[in-house]
Amino acid sequence: MLQSNTRSKKKQMQLTNKTIVITGGTAGIGRQLVQLLAPANHLYVIGRSVAKLNDLQQKYPNVIGIHADLNDTTLLETKLAQLLKQVSKVDVLINNAAVQHTATYIDPNFQYQQIASEINVNFTAICQLTYLLLPTLMASESARIVNINSGLAIAPKAQSAIYCASKSALNSFSLSLRYQLEHTSVLVQQALLPLVDTAMTEGRGSGKLVAREAAQHIIRGIERGTLDNDIGKVKLLRLLMRFAPNMAYKLMKAS
């Protein structure tokens, strides 16, 4: 059973005048994070849509767009090399981007080619970004690596097996990396989200958390130094896993 550690181990951070790198910042939760953070910080937003990146740059003078597909690990490495020539210090890395395909393995619509791309975006790119940006994060007196995760890291559902597995891997990676960096200036945090109302979840589920509210919870967790920030219904899921794990798995299976 996954355990949560919500105590703050380091000083709180005020998200003002910080250099922040965020993936998936052109839509959904990422877009809301950008809107909330851009007025008072310097943001480098990694996204696939040139048009959406340009729109962000026009609306927010403090935003610089980086056009990259996280599925293309070679291109991402090139883009990060260019970024490192521009900045010597990064205060916050927010790994927000994710993709989810809902077809099951026995569904005729399952696409074999999507296995690698889903893993690349949801997990491999995060490992890559973390490693390549770590020197600039360690140059900050107090830095954050923030991995946007899901309640599905705690208990999977029947659909989206690759997505669930990638989120479980992200949880394990976050905890291990936290151990590795515990004596450095870099704090590794997670935000574990319930179902959020975004384009990715359109037509699925009910009682969704509004994207802007999710972003506000994420920001509060960053500033407070919360290690594993269980948001919304994830708090209940965590309790069920402790006291009634069979019920938790059953509920999540059909989610």
Distance CA 206, CA 17 (A): 37
Overall residue count recorded for the chain in this entry: 255
**Which pair of tokens denotes residue 246?**
């069979």
Tokens of residue 233, six digits = 């219904």
Cα angle 42-96-174, degrees, rounded to a multiple of 5: 110
Question: Model confidence at 233, in pLDDT bands (50, 70, 90)?
Answer: very high
* Per-residue tokens: 236: 């209940």
Q: Is the per-residue pLDDT at 84 higher than 50?
A: yes
Fill in the amino acid letter for 89.
K
Q: Is the pLDDT of residue 88 over 50?
A: yes
Residue written as tokens 């480098």? Answer: 44
Buried b (16+ CB within 10 A) or exposed e, 42-62: bbbbbbbeeebbeebeeebeb
Q: Which residue has the higher pLDDT, 255 or 95?
A: 95
Q: Measured in whole angstroms, how far is the alpha carbon of residue 64 from the centre of its chain?
A: 19
By the 8 A CB rule, do 154 and 238 touch?
Answer: yes
Per-residue confidence (pLDDT) for residue 208, from 0 to 100: 80
Query: Among the listed ranges 5-9, 27-31, 44-48, 69-73, which one has the minimum average pLDDT value?
Result: 5-9
Please state, rounded to an integer, the average pLDDT across all residues of the chain: 94
Give the mean model confidence (pLDDT) for residues 90-108: 97
Predicted confidence at residue 156, as pLDDT, reads 97
Q: Are 159 and 104 in contact (CB under 8 A)?
A: yes
Domains of the chain: residue spans and CATH: 19-253 (3.40.50.720)
Q: Give tens-digit pLDDT for 193-216.
A: 999 987 777 666 667 899 999 999
Task: Give the phi and the psi of residue 70 in degrees, each rounded to 5.
Answer: -65, -15
Average of per-residue pLDDT across 106-135:
97
pTM of the model: 0.93
**Does the active-site annotation cover 163?**
yes
Q: What is the pLDDT of residue 198?
A: 79
The predicted structure's pLDDT at residue 6: 46
Dihedral of CA atoms 200, 128, 123, 175 in degrees, nearest 10, equals -120
- Residues 5-16 have pLDDT tens digits of 544 455 799 999
Could you tell me the sign of the dihedral formed by the alpha carbons of 103, 105, 109, 111, in that order? positive
Please tell me which residue in 112, 163, 179, 249 is annotated as part of the active site.
163
Contact predicate 63/56, CB 8 Å: yes
Q: Is the pLDDT of residue 127 over 50?
A: yes
Alpha-carbon gap, residue 52 to 27, rounded angstroms: 8
